[in-house]
A and B are shown apart, each in its own frame.
Chain A
Amino acid sequence: MNELSVDHLLGIKDLTKEDIQLIHKTADQFKEVINRPIKKVPSLRDITIANLFFENSTRTKLSFELAEKRLSADVINFSAAQSSVKKGETLIDTVNNILAMKVDIVVMRHPNPGAGVFLSKHVNARIVNAGDGAHEHPTQALLDSYSIREKLGTLEGKKVVIVGDILHSRVALSNIYCLQKLGAEVMVCGPATLIPTHIKSLGVKVEYNLRKALEWCDVANMLRVQNERMDISYFPSVREYVQQYGVNKELLDSLKKKIVIMHPGPINRGVEITSDVADSDQAIILNQVENGVAVRMAVLYLIASKIQRND
């Protein structure tokens, strides 16, 4: 199969296993491209991409923008802070105004879950979801699974634990879908208040004891504690969270095997993981960042290849 089964990338839930494998294989080629002396290919030179960020983002936006530029696409950026959204314009109006300038693909981050799906039904452009509220963040899951595949060779039969704030995390949900589709076993671990009640219905294991979770897994994906999304106190203090759910070097060294440590960033050093863990050879955090560009290039390339040129 050389083509995605979907026209938009709204969430991992809509993708098949073959779609994910195609994205990974295409990303292999782009990873080679971005390590050349000249890191650019002309594939998307007649495609215009709008990055619409209705929520703050640094690395995802940079990563998408770099991916777009390395594919030679024309790029326009828009962020809510400096826009008419503040003046009361609706999402559809904002996007249609941008599309009137002949944009082919919209990369959007939005605080409301389902914003991408809504948009894909109402505007005539391909949508790539760069995070919608606490719902999905598909490209993060694709790059996380790509990084695990790169490190361990395959996802099939591997055990991955996602640690931390599962409740507010779109990375967790997309990762669960993605890892399961690729044949990995998934466990979530964190304080009971930050684990959604019905998470078991997704077929994941739940563990409240970090040491037990780490002993079980091959890979630990440490999520950031999202203070900005917390309307109430979910745990008594940061100090207590660190004691219960923070990973430090002593803990890692006391495990029977060497596990892989991942983090989607930005890291709260000393909270989810200590500095010596983040900088150790078990952490693949910077590989994730590098792979992020290659994976996003693959996604944009494959989405764009389905826009038939009609001249």
Chain B
Amino acid sequence: MGHYLLRRLLILIPSVIGISVVLFTVLALAPGDPFEELATNPNVPAEVRASLRAQFGLDDPVVTRYFRWFGSMLQGEWGFSFASRVDVDTLILQRIPVTLLIIGSALVLALLIALPVGVYAATRPYSIFDQIANTLAFVGFSLPPFFTGILFILLFSITLDWLPFVYRADISAAGWRWYWEHLRQAIMPVAVIGLFQGASWTRYVRSAVLDVIRLDYVTTARAKGLAERAVVVKHVVRNALIPVVTLVALQMPALFGGAIVTEQIFRVPGIGSLLISAILANDTPVIMAVTFVFSFLVVAFNLLADVLYAWLDPRISYR
């Protein structure tokens, strides 16, 4: 297992480098120049401009600039936010726990929906339950997260007045009340992403279970006289989960996209809403750093999926 993990970590290095090359290429190809303002300002002499450019290394070859940029990204020197006048890493460290909490809870919610519903539907294919679940899944992943968010606000905040629609980080209550208030305001943002992902994963789980449940070893398990429950939970689901883990890992970028949208709708102070406000404020260092963090999170979740994979399927871990 340790060996396997180490090898997976080594495989990560080229993909982190690849992602950084893509990000840097986008930045380098972009028109515009951080010294544009100086160039158009007649009060700044050309020699001063040239020496400033040399000082910041803007005239170096692209490859040199890439390595300098990547090095400082890795060391956590992400620059200084133009808009909020603080270091980018402090800003991101402040914001990231909320985002991780929302994404993590949404992931759990999506799996809590997709696994039981998908497995139950697959054990009774074409039954009434299966058809209802299938229809709801289609509706679920055809409703874009931003519209679900608006529907939730209309229903639960405006019509019924049950839940707050603005996420507040500064809740003044203490003790149990504090937890309760946080739970209440997190329900809608988490449900918006969780339901959207849960709907599409239900279909993956259903088709993965359907593929496995017809295999001979399942018939053998039944013929041994095992209870149906034991057959499904211990024999079918474990094997069916292997392709599901891959698909869930592939959907991680979509999950982060959903997080950006919900954070924006419910004004959750996470890195998604930080990205949007940075774009609106032309705050390039923050934008680059947040995009880098999102890429890193996707890679980290893929690593997690690989570990899960090895645990689910012992055949691959000693390859």
A, B from the same assembly: no
